[in-house]
Chain A
Amino acid sequence: MAARKILLVDDSETVLQTEQMILEKSSYELIMARDGEEGVAKALEIKPDLILMDVVMPKMNGFEAVRHIRENEQTRAVPIVMVTSKAEAESMETGYESGCSDYIIKPIDGVELIVKVKSLLGE
């Protein structure tokens, strides 16, 4: 079976590396995007099994990117986990309204991320 594809969208290299370190142990195929626009483009291109989406990013924020991804028939059902700072967490009402599936708070905890990812992938 082909490896499940996870799209990591974040403008912070540190966060991308952290997510990569946690998830690569589980043999997922990881694809990176570094702003909201690139995140939407890659989501439409590769049709990932799951997306981890930052909130505050250049060009297009995470909520807007989720809305664009949800508008497309081919990516409408992809689980999207928002990765948010504690300060931004109060805006998660907007996150759910834009269509995200769940959220986690930075700094990212490895156990929490793995459990949520596996749960959303039905593993």
Chain B
Amino acid sequence: MTPLTKQNLNGDSATVHIIGDRSKYYLHPGQLFVSHESYAVTTILGSCVSVCLWDPFTKIGGINHFLLPMDVGDDQASLRFGNLAVRELIEEVLAVGGEQARLRAKLFGGACVLEAFRSRENHLGTKNVKIAREVLDAVDIPIIGEDVGGNRGRKLIFHTDDGSAWVKQL
């Protein structure tokens, strides 16, 4: 089966490279990617957040990369907003054969690079992490791993076939 990809509203064609046993895919902000095949999906996160979902039985994995916590209630709604991007990721994983009760989540990003604002509870990175937790919690998907907050960007690599994730602090 062809890997399912979903892109932002300005979406253009995806470039997929095959390296070793896994194909390689670069995920841009405002996109999500779901597949039951072996992919190493890379993305770069600052205040943005990625939710990685994995079904250990079907080995279906998916990841999003959103920039802002909530859509603003107009026609700008898109995968750039966490409340939509996390729900859409769950739906896409279920659509290709994932089972909601088996899904496990990992959460990454939400940095605040400015020392002066890090103690504030309402900086953008914190809000992005919070909305991801709320959406996952509402549908009882457990978060089994996370690397969030802090003061540095992150390079994240997610393996769709085994649910593993690798983070490099930038």
A residues contacting B by CB (< 8 A) are 77, 79, 86, 89-90, 92-93, 96-97, 101-105, 107, 109, 111-112, 115-116, 119-120, 122
Give the docked Cα–Cα distance between A102 and B170 (Å): 11
Contact of B28 among A96, A105, A109, A122 (CB under 8 A): A105
Question: Which of B29, B76, B115, B120 is most buried by chain A, counting CB atoms within 10 A of its CB?
Answer: B29
Give the docked Cα–Cα distance between A105 and B26 (Å): 14
| Set of chain B residues within 8 Å of A111, measured between Cβ atoms | 68, 72, 76
The reply to whether A93 and B170 contact each other, CB–CB distance below 8 Å, is yes
Instruction: Output the least CB separation between B28 and chain A (Å).
Output: 6
B residues contacting A by CB (< 8 A) are 10, 12, 26, 28-30, 42, 44, 46-47, 67-68, 72, 76, 80, 113-117, 120, 123-124, 152-153, 155, 168, 170
Give the docked Cα–Cα distance between A90 and B113 (Å): 20
Give the docked Cα–Cα distance between A115 and B12 (Å): 25
Give the docked Cα–Cα distance between A101 and B11 (Å): 25
The reply to whether A101 and B113 contact each other, CB–CB distance below 8 Å, is yes
Give the docked Cα–Cα distance between A84 and B47 (Å): 16
Instruction: Output the least CB separation between A37 and chain B (Å).
Output: 25
Contact of A112 among B44, B68, B117 (CB under 8 A): B68
Instruction: Output the least CB separation between A62 and chain B (Å).
Output: 15
A82, closest chain B residue (CB)? B46
Give the docked Cα–Cα distance between A89 and B12 (Å): 14
| Set of chain B residues within 8 Å of A119, measured between Cβ atoms | 47, 117, 123-124
Extra 13 A-B pairs, beta carbons < 8 Å, given A77-B115, A122-B116: A77-B116, A89-B28, A90-B42, A92-B44, A92-B153, A96-B46, A102-B46, A102-B113, A111-B68, A115-B68, A116-B47, A116-B124, A122-B117
